[in-house]
Structure 1
């Protein structure tokens, strides 16, 4: 019986996917051989030589399941499709640009098996220097969005990494274990989130269903941060994701308050970009304002 399906989504991941897979088998080859763990790699229409590397990986590790989509479905769509091919009771989503450091994923599995009220369990991601990344967080409330808008994101403390096992609002989708039946019952990842914020929204739905979201800092993976997106892409899609989250889950009044706060932040960033001749600020936040305008159109403004 398969206990855990490890799922990796690739998109132009040729520089790091081989190391990621090798690290998994270096610590969990025994579980793979026994059929307790399985590894699924789903490619999101890569345009580099990722597919050729995946063919080589398939030759080296026969038990790896490799699937390819003809279109980039984004993180949410790609992961949802990959889950369809899984057999485990538990799913572990990990980024393709990560390296497994230990056997503590087994402890995560054991913890999920012992406490059936845990719907999601997140682990600690480390950067290439071994410094903790902020791998858990709190849902974006109006105060947090306000602090984001006025430039005090650190004070908002939306993202953090507890030192011990702790109930949290959400964990990073880059190292997230979830019960498959719960994942499916709440509607999986919402594919309206192309990338970013979908992990928070999934945890929101699972928590609303009565399950706990837990952070487990003792399982660690190294994150190279050679991801599939640019910083500008991230900012734009985080803005889009926050606004969509509020449109879907919060009151109309809260939605418009958040939209206004994000517009102020983007406008100030553009002004600073003009004054300092910073093309990144100008281009990124002009695109963010376009996204906010598009979201307004969706609600009939």
Structure 2
């Protein structure tokens, strides 16, 4: 967790007595930042730390309107930027959010209550603008489950992967769009996996948590808006190639996960 120093603009430094540091990594995210963050009033509730990964749009200048700190960085990938943002603050609770997520003070109160009695990683249930729940808590991935999700979305395998049955709230992993944990937990698991540029970094984060004795939970009653844009279904694309590279790194590290059905 030692990314190269980046340039932090001359803004308000993180407030020492807040309970939350919120890390938002931006990459050409001007529209989402303007829509979901610039109009929200989280002053006094959280430090908002935006790490801009060399955006070519107005992401950095927009974030300066609302963020406690804006960091202009080369694009080293999501994990490294998350770690960089987390290292700037010192609040006891950390929340990592995509730019297309909208957080309210009530969300922070409810997530703090969850962290008070959950020993590990906690995600709210993400909901779209249509009010429908999104599958952001999942069973462990495997090539078969990934293929089923793409080609047989209504199959039992796909549904059990995307919507695992749980009575305790504990799941195998949660997507990185909105993830909360105590700072002590973040430090204990070694932060986000910087060897993974994009995709599978959230799977590995949750696997690290479980390796270190922490749980991974979905808080169904905490509902957070997420203006989700699904990835392109093209395999031969920049996103598709990044996904394959990251999958290779993950399964090389955890070969047993290849055989889940």
Which deviations, in whole Å up to 9, do the C-alpha atoms of 1:63-109 show, x marking residues without a partner? 6211111x111111111111110211111011101223671321111
SS in 2 for 1:235: helix
Are 1:68 and 2:72 matched, yes or no? yes
Unpaired runs of at least 5, structure 1: 259-301
**How big is the shift at 1:46?**
0.5
Q: Distance in 2 between matches of 1:98 and 1:189?
A: 19
Which deviations, in whole Å up to 9, do the C-alpha atoms of 1:233-276 show, x marking residues without a partner? 4433333222211101226xx76x79xxxxxxxxxxxxxxxxxx
Which deviations, in whole Å up to 9, do the C-alpha atoms of 1:208-243 show, x marking residues without a partner? 11111111022222222358x755444333332222
The two structures, once aligned, show a CA RMSD in angstroms of 2.9
SS in 2 for 1:168: coil
Contact kept, 8 Å, 2:121 with 2:206, in 1: the verdict is yes
Larger radius of gyration: 1
The partner residue of 1:177 within 164, 176, 180 is: 180
Higher helix share: 1
TM-score under structure 1 length normalisation: 0.70
Contact kept, 8 Å, 2:38 with 2:62, in 1: the verdict is no
**How big is the shift at 1:120?**
0.3
Unpaired runs of at least 5, structure 2: 1-16
Question: Which residue number corresponds to residue 238 of structure 1?
Answer: 243
Contact kept, 8 Å, 1:5 with 1:86, in 2: the verdict is yes
Are 1:214 and 2:217 matched, yes or no? yes
Identify if the C-alpha distance between structure 1 residues 101 and 187 changes in structure 2 by more than 3 Å, giving closer, same or farther: closer
The partner residue of 1:17 within 17, 21, 33 is: 33
TM-score under structure 2 length normalisation: 0.79
Contact kept, 8 Å, 2:114 with 2:219, in 1: the verdict is no
Give 4+ residue runs of structure 1 displaced > 6 Å after superposition: 161-164
Correspondence 1:1-301 to 2 at 5 A: 1-22=17-38, 24-25=40-41, 28-29=42-43, 31-32=44-45, 37-55=46-64, 57=65, 61=66, 64-69=68-73, 71-100=74-103, 103-113=106-116, 115=117, 118-141=119-142, 144=145, 147=148, 151-152=151-152, 154-156=155-157, 157-160=160-163, 166-225=169-228, 230-232=232-234, 233-250=238-255
